[in-house]
Amino acid sequence: MQTSELPDLAHTDTKPLHWLATATAMAAVIAAAGMLQPDPTASASAPHGTAAQHGTAPVVAPDPQRVAYPLECAGLENTVAQQAPGDLDGDGRPETVAVVHCAAGSGTPPSGVYVLTQGDGAAPRIVATLVDPAQQMSIGDLAVRDGAVFATLFGYSSADVPRCCPDQQEKVTWRWRGGAFVRTIQAGPGSA
Protein backbone atom coordinates (compact mmCIF):
# COMPACT_ATOMS: atom_id res chain seq x y z
CA MET A 1 0.00 0.00 0.00
CA GLN A 2 1.39 3.24 -0.99
CA THR A 3 0.82 6.44 0.93
CA SER A 4 0.81 9.74 -0.82
CA GLU A 5 1.23 13.05 0.77
CA LEU A 6 -1.12 15.84 -0.02
CA PRO A 7 0.45 19.13 -0.98
CA ASP A 8 0.51 21.81 1.66
CA LEU A 9 -2.25 24.25 0.63
CA ALA A 10 -1.87 27.83 1.78
CA HIS A 11 -5.61 28.42 2.22
CA THR A 12 -6.02 25.54 4.64
CA ASP A 13 -3.86 27.23 7.21
CA THR A 14 -6.00 29.97 8.79
CA LYS A 15 -4.41 32.96 10.32
CA PRO A 16 -5.95 35.96 12.14
CA LEU A 17 -5.59 38.00 8.94
CA HIS A 18 -7.89 35.57 7.09
CA TRP A 19 -10.57 35.90 9.78
CA LEU A 20 -10.26 39.67 9.73
CA ALA A 21 -10.70 39.75 5.94
CA THR A 22 -13.75 37.44 6.15
CA ALA A 23 -15.33 39.53 8.90
CA THR A 24 -14.73 42.73 6.92
CA ALA A 25 -16.33 41.24 3.80
CA MET A 26 -19.37 40.03 5.78
CA ALA A 27 -19.77 43.45 7.43
CA ALA A 28 -19.72 45.10 3.99
CA VAL A 29 -22.45 42.73 2.72
CA ILE A 30 -24.64 43.36 5.78
CA ALA A 31 -24.15 47.14 5.52
CA ALA A 32 -25.07 47.10 1.81
CA ALA A 33 -28.19 45.03 2.56
CA GLY A 34 -29.16 47.51 5.26
CA MET A 35 -29.00 50.40 2.81
CA LEU A 36 -31.23 48.62 0.29
CA GLN A 37 -34.60 48.95 2.04
CA PRO A 38 -38.00 48.49 0.35
CA ASP A 39 -40.09 51.49 -0.57
CA PRO A 40 -42.08 52.45 2.56
CA THR A 41 -45.17 53.14 0.41
CA ALA A 42 -45.06 49.70 -1.21
CA SER A 43 -47.75 47.20 -0.26
CA ALA A 44 -47.57 43.46 -0.05
CA SER A 45 -50.46 42.99 -2.44
CA ALA A 46 -52.54 44.94 -4.91
CA PRO A 47 -56.09 44.32 -6.11
CA HIS A 48 -56.37 42.06 -9.14
CA GLY A 49 -55.96 43.92 -12.40
CA THR A 50 -54.32 47.04 -11.01
CA ALA A 51 -51.27 48.59 -12.58
CA ALA A 52 -49.27 48.12 -9.37
CA GLN A 53 -49.58 44.36 -9.86
CA HIS A 54 -47.94 44.63 -13.27
CA GLY A 55 -44.99 46.69 -12.05
CA THR A 56 -46.12 49.98 -13.59
CA ALA A 57 -47.01 53.25 -11.90
CA PRO A 58 -50.12 53.15 -9.71
CA VAL A 59 -53.38 54.39 -11.20
CA VAL A 60 -54.29 57.89 -10.04
CA ALA A 61 -57.77 59.31 -9.71
CA PRO A 62 -59.00 61.61 -12.50
CA ASP A 63 -58.12 65.30 -12.10
CA PRO A 64 -61.40 67.26 -11.88
CA GLN A 65 -59.67 70.43 -13.11
CA ARG A 66 -59.23 68.83 -16.56
CA VAL A 67 -62.95 68.24 -17.27
CA ALA A 68 -65.45 70.42 -19.17
CA TYR A 69 -68.62 70.48 -17.05
CA PRO A 70 -72.13 71.00 -18.48
CA LEU A 71 -72.82 74.17 -16.47
CA GLU A 72 -74.50 77.30 -17.78
CA CYS A 73 -72.46 80.03 -16.07
CA ALA A 74 -73.38 83.06 -18.23
CA GLY A 75 -69.78 83.73 -19.21
CA LEU A 76 -68.29 82.96 -15.77
CA GLU A 77 -65.83 80.18 -15.06
CA ASN A 78 -66.80 77.17 -13.00
CA THR A 79 -65.23 76.13 -9.70
CA VAL A 80 -64.45 72.66 -8.42
CA ALA A 81 -65.54 73.24 -4.82
CA GLN A 82 -64.89 69.71 -3.50
CA GLN A 83 -63.45 66.45 -4.73
CA ALA A 84 -63.21 62.94 -3.33
CA PRO A 85 -61.42 60.02 -5.01
CA GLY A 86 -62.26 56.34 -4.56
CA ASP A 87 -63.05 53.11 -6.38
CA LEU A 88 -66.83 53.23 -6.77
CA ASP A 89 -67.42 50.30 -9.14
CA GLY A 90 -64.93 47.79 -7.71
CA ASP A 91 -62.69 47.59 -10.78
CA GLY A 92 -59.53 48.58 -8.89
CA ARG A 93 -59.32 51.97 -10.63
CA PRO A 94 -60.26 55.11 -8.68
CA GLU A 95 -62.96 57.49 -9.82
CA THR A 96 -63.28 61.10 -8.64
CA VAL A 97 -66.50 62.66 -7.36
CA ALA A 98 -66.49 66.42 -7.97
CA VAL A 99 -68.78 69.15 -6.67
CA VAL A 100 -68.80 71.96 -9.21
CA HIS A 101 -70.63 75.31 -9.40
CA CYS A 102 -70.36 78.58 -11.29
CA ALA A 103 -67.78 81.00 -9.90
CA ALA A 104 -70.33 83.54 -8.72
CA GLY A 105 -68.99 86.56 -6.86
CA SER A 106 -71.57 86.21 -4.10
CA GLY A 107 -74.55 84.11 -3.10
CA THR A 108 -74.89 80.36 -3.17
CA PRO A 109 -74.86 79.13 -6.76
CA PRO A 110 -76.38 75.68 -7.32
CA SER A 111 -73.92 72.83 -7.52
CA GLY A 112 -73.59 69.75 -9.66
CA VAL A 113 -72.11 66.50 -8.38
CA TYR A 114 -70.30 64.51 -11.05
CA VAL A 115 -68.51 61.15 -11.16
CA LEU A 116 -65.36 61.19 -13.28
CA THR A 117 -63.39 58.32 -14.73
CA GLN A 118 -60.28 58.06 -16.85
CA GLY A 119 -59.00 55.31 -19.11
CA ASP A 120 -55.34 54.62 -19.81
CA GLY A 121 -53.90 57.67 -21.54
CA ALA A 122 -57.34 59.24 -21.96
CA ALA A 123 -58.59 62.55 -20.62
CA PRO A 124 -60.91 62.42 -17.59
CA ARG A 125 -64.61 62.41 -18.45
CA ILE A 126 -67.98 62.58 -16.71
CA VAL A 127 -69.70 59.19 -16.44
CA ALA A 128 -72.56 60.12 -14.09
CA THR A 129 -74.36 63.17 -12.73
CA LEU A 130 -75.48 62.56 -9.15
CA VAL A 131 -76.91 66.06 -8.59
CA ASP A 132 -77.86 68.27 -11.53
CA PRO A 133 -77.43 72.04 -10.99
CA ALA A 134 -81.01 72.42 -12.26
CA GLN A 135 -82.13 70.88 -8.94
CA GLN A 136 -80.98 74.14 -7.26
CA MET A 137 -79.06 72.40 -4.47
CA SER A 138 -75.81 73.14 -2.72
CA ILE A 139 -73.55 70.49 -1.23
CA GLY A 140 -72.20 70.34 2.31
CA ASP A 141 -70.10 67.37 3.32
CA LEU A 142 -68.77 65.06 0.61
CA ALA A 143 -66.86 61.80 1.12
CA VAL A 144 -66.12 58.53 -0.64
CA ARG A 145 -65.82 55.50 1.67
CA ASP A 146 -66.14 51.78 1.08
CA GLY A 147 -67.19 52.22 -2.55
CA ALA A 148 -69.98 54.70 -1.77
CA VAL A 149 -70.48 58.47 -2.08
CA PHE A 150 -71.79 60.27 1.02
CA ALA A 151 -73.06 63.85 0.84
CA THR A 152 -75.21 66.42 2.60
CA LEU A 153 -77.56 68.24 0.24
CA PHE A 154 -79.07 71.64 1.02
CA GLY A 155 -82.15 72.89 -0.79
CA TYR A 156 -85.09 75.28 -0.64
CA SER A 157 -88.72 74.57 0.17
CA SER A 158 -89.96 77.39 -2.07
CA ALA A 159 -88.79 80.22 -4.30
CA ASP A 160 -89.48 82.61 -1.40
CA VAL A 161 -86.56 81.23 0.64
CA PRO A 162 -83.47 83.45 0.22
CA ARG A 163 -80.66 81.77 -1.76
CA CYS A 164 -78.24 82.43 1.08
CA CYS A 165 -80.16 80.34 3.56
CA PRO A 166 -81.33 76.88 2.44
CA ASP A 167 -84.10 75.53 4.68
CA GLN A 168 -83.91 71.86 3.71
CA GLN A 169 -81.18 69.32 4.42
CA GLU A 170 -80.81 65.71 3.37
CA LYS A 171 -77.96 63.24 3.93
CA VAL A 172 -77.69 60.85 1.01
CA THR A 173 -75.58 57.94 -0.20
CA TRP A 174 -74.98 56.70 -3.73
CA ARG A 175 -73.74 53.16 -4.47
CA TRP A 176 -72.96 51.55 -7.82
CA ARG A 177 -75.50 48.73 -8.37
CA GLY A 178 -76.58 47.04 -11.57
CA GLY A 179 -74.75 49.50 -13.82
CA ALA A 180 -76.08 52.70 -12.19
CA PHE A 181 -75.67 54.83 -9.08
CA VAL A 182 -78.52 54.17 -6.66
CA ARG A 183 -79.37 56.97 -4.22
CA THR A 184 -80.55 56.27 -0.67
CA ILE A 185 -81.33 58.63 2.19
CA GLN A 186 -79.16 58.11 5.25
CA ALA A 187 -81.04 57.39 8.47
CA GLY A 188 -80.70 60.22 10.95
CA PRO A 189 -80.07 59.87 14.69
CA GLY A 190 -82.94 58.19 16.49
CA SER A 191 -84.43 56.70 13.29
CA ALA A 192 -85.23 53.04 13.08
29 burial type by CB count under 10 A (0-12 exposed, 13-18 middle, 19+ buried): exposed
CA gap 143, 85 in Å, rounded: 8
The 10s digit of each residue's pLDDT in 90-116 is 999 999 999 999 998 777 789 999 999
- CB contact at 8 A, 112 and 69: yes
What is the reported pLDDT for 122? 86
Task: Please tell me the pTM assigned to this model.
Answer: 0.68
The answer for residues whose C-beta is within 8 angstroms of residue 30's C-beta and 6 or more apart is: none
The 10s digit of each residue's pLDDT in 52-94 is 445 566 778 999 999 999 998 888 899 999 999 999 999 999 9
- CB contact at 8 A, 174 and 84: no
Helix (H, G, I), strand (E, B) or coil at 7: coil
